[in-house]
């Protein structure tokens, strides 16, 4: 049996209590998919690769250079930090965060294969 985390339990530097750090470098692999049509018209960024995110940003009016930069930032926030709210993305300008929230959503990926049998 594992030890329950308590206030006295040792904690990795730079991590929040109860959060298990991922050892080593992490580079998520996105399985390309066609974004499902949402009733509210928002585009779900989860599952889009960086070029697709950049293209989506261009369709809402960002120039190519800015779209590439913002797609890298969004990729990091979504796939490395697990952010689901644009307001939490501190290194993106507030006006861009508001623009993104009007056009996009960060959903949760759909489970398509589970190796756990109940």
pLDDT in tens, 41-77: 899 998 888 999 999 999 999 999 999 999 999 999 9
Strand partners, 105: 44
Taking the whole predicted model, whether its pTM rises above 0.85 is answered as no
Q: Between residues 24 and 88, which one has the greater pLDDT?
A: 88
* Across 9-31, average pLDDT: 50
Cβ proximity of 106 and 84 under 8 Å: yes
Q: Does domain 49-105 have CATH number 1.10.150.530?
A: yes
């Amino acid at each position: 049996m594992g030890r329950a985390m308590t206030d006295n339990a040792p904690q990795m530097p730079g991590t929040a209590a109860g959060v298990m750090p991922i050892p080593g470098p992490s580079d998520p692999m996105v399985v390309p998919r066609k974004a499902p049509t949402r009733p509210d018209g928002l585009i779900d960024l989860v599952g889009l690769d960086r070029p697709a995110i950049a293209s989506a940003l261009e369709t809402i009016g960002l120039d190519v250079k800015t779209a590439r930069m913002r797609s890298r930032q969004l990729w990091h926030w979504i796939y490395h930090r697990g952010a689901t709210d644009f307001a939490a993305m501190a290194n993106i300008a507030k006006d861009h965060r508001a623009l993104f929230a009007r056009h996009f959503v960060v959903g949760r990926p759909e489970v398509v294969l589970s190796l756990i049998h109940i």
